Chain A
């Protein structure tokens, strides 16, 4: 077996262990939240008996460690549990499985993140490489200033500006991204254009600047001077000699930003009324719908872990010292 595979398996295992600790943190954090679902639903006037009966139905009367193990146990079998909303005590049992609540929302979020990522990552790489190539020129300064400007504004402000220009003054895109499961693909892309553009503007600066910095950092290396003295052209010095050694830090930043696209975009979802997983989680926190909150948090954590794992793997396979040991 190639030693790299061993390293990757080891990282994967570490990722699982991390996820386990995260589950502990999520569970205890929710334990510490003031108030609970029963009070939130039944209100101040509810009698103690009703509250107790409701708590029994939801399993909230059991000690915390038991609830934790039940939760982890069922998550491991793929069962995220049942939402607290619409349970039998409120009359008719209209409660839904957490999976059914989350799945369409997660798909929406991944779709939007994918759209933004497909545009933002190549754009950031291109801008970063060209800014490094033409460093300290007008081009470099313009790119830096422009990306810094877009990252400096709050997301909602960028979103409203885009709505103002592209939905209101010059109406080419809709200002609402109200998609559902039946929306055809092209219409979905069309409706997601403005939110995706907002996200792109927000994340491009970070990735672009890291790409530029990682490359420029290497330009002082003796092997870059050697390449120049071998008569290698400027473009090839950057693309052939600097970039292959710069992937590890760039991949880390890209992973970080892609993770952000999945877990941190609730503000943009709200502005465009986009049914993503961020809104779902915020709603669930408001109503103390614990199974949904826990599932969302776990998915977010897993996203970070998986994307970082991929960045690590890229760092390893682009480093010949690790890929081809002595």
Chain B
């Protein structure tokens, strides 16, 4: 098989999936995951596949390769890939197509590269296994791909191991790996979801250019409509395994016909009136901090937080956002500097703080899953701080737990449930209730909505705002998501490489002129405009 024999003309149908049904196995029985979806893709076209988690986007994307994950099975329909019947194909027939004519780019590049092999060997593996090129030719081609994907030191980067390059570089590396055999079709499965916005822009540009250059067809799976708008010619919206609508990208953004499609960017519609106050409740002064006394991760950080307001801390991963939270809570005593609470300095280390001081600052985490003991019921989880801080027992404790459940908009039936019986949003609500149970003045929210879908995010943010209004709670809200910042904050702190770039009211920070880094960060947030990426690239030169 040489590279060009199977390349048809642009505009020919490459992939045709008809009435696909897929079942998944859970709770001891099979449930439908995909309920009769059609999908047609022509050569050189990029389709966006969008929906919340559980909508079946990845399952459908993988089915386009004729693959079903363990615990899933394709139960009906037909898949025709350039004359190959993928439903009835044998394992060997499928394997002959995978990696050579259909390639896959996974969500987490860090987990999807084999830690034991050099990147270059992995990049050309399919090309060599398929006998498409000689080792030397494939390797020099891979180096050219690295260069066109803007990877640093393209001649030598392939000699490194996966752990030796950054997440954004790995994601581009994976695109190079998919492209090595010049496939007809690439499935991109949430390839930028795990990346910072500033990194995401670079990866998006690189992927879009290379797909265009080689006229490769692609299915781009994501939950972020703004991202897919930059990549796709047309978009298909999925919900509960069914198609909601399909339309050309521009039309979808300007005039979505379905309400559900509009709700996909609901967080962007949420906006909070700015509330500025001078009543400082928490302040950190001149804080320097380091892990295990080695590399400094915070340099001279100063943040002031006013009572009853939300201060959003934004920045990319590694900017020191979470470390700041650890300093405030006492989990990481700072090298120098201090934390003032209501004007009084707090002991730097957690173990030196009184119960009263502990009670006033609570924390909610990104991964609600790992922040709860899987063997404890909701009542036990919420009841623990009630007992510990307020000495409540028996009937009183039970009443208070029910009250808290009501505050987080869950009914009494949740009292005896285990975390495994809750959805992602419900788990995060229970974590909020646990923080509320202590009756704190300040709650530190560390990326609490990052793992959630847009609609669920919106619900959690609305809940937090309502609680703030009713109980005058102060939030320190750590996030990398600018849409969330818009929705919830009164003041914004921008952090970069362990230092504060700027702090000010939302209206000031979000409007120009910006310091350089804030400018880069804000301009990297994808907008609901198909031309946004192109304009951005032109603008940055």
> Chain A interface (Cβ within 8 Å of chain B)?
221-223, 225-233, 236, 240-241, 244-245, 318-321, 324, 326
In the bound complex, what is the Cα–Cα distance between A18 and B160 (angstroms)?
A: 37
B520 at the interface (CB under 8 A from A): no
- Given contacts A231-B95, A231-B98, whether A223 and B129 have CB atoms under 8 Å apart is no
Structural contact, A320 and B163, CB atoms closer than 8 A? yes
Which of A223, A228, A230 is close to B115, meaning CB atoms less than 8 Å apart? Answer: A223
Complex alpha-carbon distance, A231 and B126, angstroms = 7
The answer to whether A232 and B115 touch across the interface, beta carbons within 8 angstroms, is: no
Contact between A236 and B129, CB atoms less than 8 A apart: yes
In the bound complex, what is the Cα–Cα distance between A94 and B396 (angstroms)?
86
- Residue in A233, A241, A245, A320 whose Cβ sees the most chain B Cβ within 10 Å: A320
A231–B97 touching, CB < 8 Å: yes
The stretch of B17-25, B104-112, B141-149, B504-512 that contacts the partner chain: B104-112
B96's closest neighbor in chain A, by CB?
Answer: A231
Residues in B whose Cβ lies below 8 Å from that of A221: 111
Measured CB to CB, the closest approach of chain A to B405, in angstroms, equals 36
B164 touches A (CB below 8 Å): yes
B65 touches A229 (CB 8 A): yes
Report the separation of the CA atoms of residues A240 and B114 in the bound assembly, to the nearest whole angstrom. 10
Total A-B Cβ pairs within 8 A:
77
Once bound together, how far apart are the Cα atoms of A225 and B65, in whole Å? Answer: 13
Q: Which chain A positions have C-beta within 8 A of B62?
A: 229
Query: Does B440 sit within 8 A of A, measured CB to CB?
Result: no
Q: Are A229 and B114 in contact (CB under 8 A)?
A: no
Which residue from A228, A241, A321 sits with its C-beta under 8 Å from B114?
A241
Neighbour of A318 across the interface among B106, B116, B163, CB < 8 A: B116
| A30, B104: Cα distance in complex, Å | 65
Interface residues of B in 117-158 (CB under 8 A from A): 117, 125-126, 129-130
Chain A to chain B: the 9 pairs with minimum beta-carbon distance, closest first: A231-B99, A231-B98, A230-B99, A244-B116, A222-B111, A229-B104, A226-B112, A320-B161, A230-B126
Give the chain A neighbours of B104 by CB distance below 8 A. 226, 229-230
- B2-32 interface with A by 8 A CB criterion: none
Q: Does B234 sit within 8 A of A, measured CB to CB?
A: no
Q: Please, how many angstroms separate the alpha-carbon atoms of A89 and B117 in the complex?
A: 68
The residues of A that contact B103 with a CB separation of less than 8 Å are: 229-230
**B113 interface residue per 8 A CB criterion:** yes
New A-B contacts (9) at CB < 8 Å, excluding given A229-B65, A230-B103, A320-B161: A221-B111, A223-B111, A223-B114, A227-B125, A229-B103, A230-B177, A231-B129, A232-B129, A244-B116
Nearest B residue to A241, CB-CB: B114
Binding site for A on B (CB under 8 A): 62, 65, 67, 69, 95-100, 103-104, 106, 108, 111-117, 125-126, 129-130, 160-161, 163-164, 177
Expressed in whole angstroms, the Cα–Cα distance for A236 and B95 within the complex equals 12
Known pairs A226-B106, A229-B65; A320 contacts B99 (CB<8 A): no
The distance from the CB of B163 to the nearest CB of chain A, in whole angstroms, is 5
Q: Report the bound CA distance from A319 to B115 in whole Å.
A: 8
**A245 to B115 Cα, complex, angstroms:** 8
Complex contact A223–B113 (CB within 8 A)? yes
Give min CB distance, B160 to chain A, whole Å.
8
Q: Which of chain B's residues have a CB closer than 8 A to the CB of A228?
A: 67, 98
A320 close to B112 (CB less than 8 A): no
Residues of A within 8 A of B100 (CB): 231
Nearest chain A residue, comparing its CB with the CB of B159: A324
A222-B111, A241-B114, A245-B115 known; A326 and B163 CB under 8 Å? yes
| Pairs A–B under 8 Å by Cβ, sample size 15 | A223-B111, A230-B98, A230-B129, A230-B177, A231-B95, A231-B97, A231-B126, A232-B126, A232-B129, A236-B129, A244-B117, A319-B115, A320-B116, A324-B160, A326-B164
Please give, as numbers and ranges, the residues of chain B lying within 8 Å of A241 by CB-CB distance: 114, 116
Contact residue among A222, A232, A321 (Cβ-Cβ distance under 8 Å from B112): A222
What's the minimum C-beta distance from B97 to chain A, rounded to whole angstroms?
A: 7
Closest chain B residue, CB of each to CB of A318: B116
Q: Are A232 and B164 in contact (CB under 8 A)?
A: no
Query: Which residues from chain A contact B163 at a C-beta distance below 8 Å?
Result: 320-321, 326
Min CB gap A177→B, angstroms: 42
User: Which A residues are CB-close (under 8 A) to B65?
Assistant: 229
- Residues of B contacting A233 with CB < 8 Å? 95, 129
Nearest Cβ in chain B — how far from A249, in angstroms? 14
A94–B98 CA distance with the chains assembled, in angstroms: 77
Inter-chain contact B108/A222, CB cutoff 8 Å: yes
B95, B96, B114 interface centre (most CB from chain A within 10 Å): B114
Residue of A nearest to B113 (CB): A223
> Which residues on A sit within 8 Å (CB–CB) of B96?
231
Once the chains bind, are A222 and B129 in contact (CB under 8 Å)?
no
With known contacts A236-B129, A320-B161, A227–B114 Cβ distance under 8 A: yes
Cα of A101 to Cα of B362 in the assembled complex, Å: 70
A320 to B112, CA, bound (A): 16
